[in-house]
Amino acid sequence: MTSTITYKGDLRTSMRHLAAGCEIMTDAPVDNHGKGEAFSPTDLVATALGSCMLTIMGIKVRDMGKDMTGSTVEITKHMASDPRRIAAIEVHIRMAGDWTPKEQDLLERAARNCPVALSLHPDLSQQVRFEWPGEH
């Protein structure tokens, strides 16, 4: 078992990662009857994409003997209706560090092929943009 989830009432859940013992709360978004006081489940899906991309890139970077500390990702989630679902996720990755064009290509391919990216439905648009140091 990976995790447990408890419904806390008022459209909120508490999720516990069993191995680590850490906890995350979710709340329904304001546009779907909630208070929007925590990540929504769909926020977590979109955010997991960016986190997975950074993690996989981090593995590659570590294997290269380099460092990408300070790199950031901005996520923008776009919802659709009928049925309500995530229609698109914009991922803007800003890389810290010094990278050759070959390393940039390797890291971009690694990010686009992270497990979350490959697990999302192909109809969900993943719009990924990389910003490398020195680019504006």
Mean pLDDT by 10 residues, the chain (136 residues): 96 96 95 92 97 98 97 97 95 97 98 98 97 85
Q: May I ask the CATH architecture of the domain 41-131?
A: 2-Layer Sandwich (3.30)
**What is the spatial distance between Cα 136 and Cα 134, in angstroms, rounded to a whole number?**
7
Are residues 42 and 86 in contact, defined by beta-carbon separation less than 8 angstroms? yes
Give the domain ranges of the chain. 3-32, 41-131
pTM of whole model > 0.75?
yes
- DSSP assignments along 65-113, one per residue: T---TT-EEEEEEEEETTTTEEEEEEEEEE--S---HHHHHHHHHHHHT
Sheet containing strand 125-131, strands side by side: 72-80, 85-94, 125-131
Check residue 134 and give its pLDDT: 82
